[in-house]
Structure 1
Amino acid sequence: MNNVATGKSFITMSKLINPPAKPRTLLNLKEAIWHNYKLVELENGTIGVFLNGEFVTPSKLYLLDIAKELGVSILNGNGNPFNTRQLGSLLLKTIR
């Protein structure tokens, strides 16, 4: 904000300080285990992949490997590749 009379600018401290965000644990909606992999779909739709109990990234590379081994197409009805969430959800249904 500007004070025209004095030519000085000022800003309130509340505008400068952001309160720390509280971490939130998301619930697992679906889980499936296939060989050494564990696929997890979180409540926000994110797909997590665990290999031998350790979280691995990027998930899509592992999902593509699993799809290939299961013989699941990675293309949708229009011939476009599934995104990570779509492919993960499809694999979860296939494994379960």
Structure 2
Amino acid sequence: MPLTQIQTIQSLAEALTWFERELSWGVDPAHLRHLTGRIGELFTCVMTRGQMALEVNQRGYDVISADNERISVKTITSSTSVAFNPNTFDQVDRIVILRINVNEENGVSVETLLDCTAFEARSRLGNGLTFYIETQRPTRPVENLAVVASASYGSYTLKQYENGTILVFEGDRKVEPAKPVLRRIANEIGFDLLSAGGEQKTTRQLGAGIIRMLALQPRGIWPRSGAGQLVVDE
């Protein structure tokens, strides 16, 4: 039965939640292919306002977009290459390659590695119809972005940037990794380390929550363990 757009979004959220829960139980992402494939197809349905193909791997494609494109979806976690079946590639109008990233800062996120027509893909994939994933991609320094909130706790300064990134500084030195310091501060001020679903909060969730919690307290109360001033950027 076709899903409405709302139902597709809800299904994607449920699949991502289950994926996060499996990770919290210590399951290797590479062993969750049944979930990653489903997440990728649902994500593509949301992007294209599409529907799942009626049969699994129906003639080489997985999703039919709102524009009636037949889309082959490949979803990876740690693979370095993706290959397409040359016997069914002529049945595909568009290809989408996604990667599910898992890290301490962002938690689980879905990244689009390639999204193009099958015709465009042929020249990029070569005769083997194989896409090779770049292991390192250039990024701009987060310090170039605006700081939207900050707070001082003892000798530490917490900064939240406009993309959600949290950096912790001790004086002029950036503390890396930031999460152990954030966990220690959270324990001292009584901020919960777990989400409502029982999963460990990410670096961004911890940092943002701690800054908000410090902002609610009168100046001078924090930190409990020593002197420090709270400064919150509006």
Q: TM-score w.r.t. structure 2 length?
A: 0.31
2:193 is matched with: 74
Structure 1, unaligned runs of 5 or more: 1-20
Residue 32 of structure 1 aligns to a residue in which SS?
strand
1:1-96 aligned at under 5 Å gives the runs 25-96=144-215
Structure with larger RCO (C-alpha < 8 A, sep 6+): 1
**Alpha-carbon displacement from aligned partner over 1:47-95 (angstroms, at most 9, x marks no partner):** 0001233210111111001101112110011111101101110001011
**Alpha-carbon displacement from aligned partner over 1:15-48 (angstroms, at most 9, x marks no partner):** xxxxxx8767111010111111110001111000
Aligned equivalents of 2:198, 2:152: Cα separation in 1: 28
Amino acid aligned to 2:193: I
Aligned equivalents of 1:91, 1:68: Cα separation in 2: 10
Amino acid aligned to 1:80: E
Structure 2, unaligned runs of 5 or more: 1-138, 216-234
Identity %: 36
Amino acid aligned to 1:58: P
The ranges of structure 1 where at least 4 consecutive aligned residues each deviate by more than 2 angstroms after the TM superposition are 21-24
> Is the alpha carbon distance of 1:70 and 1:23 closer, same or farther for their aligned partners in structure 2, counting shifts above 3 Å?
closer
Q: TM-score w.r.t. structure 1 length?
A: 0.72
- Tell me how many residue pairs correspond in the alignment: 77
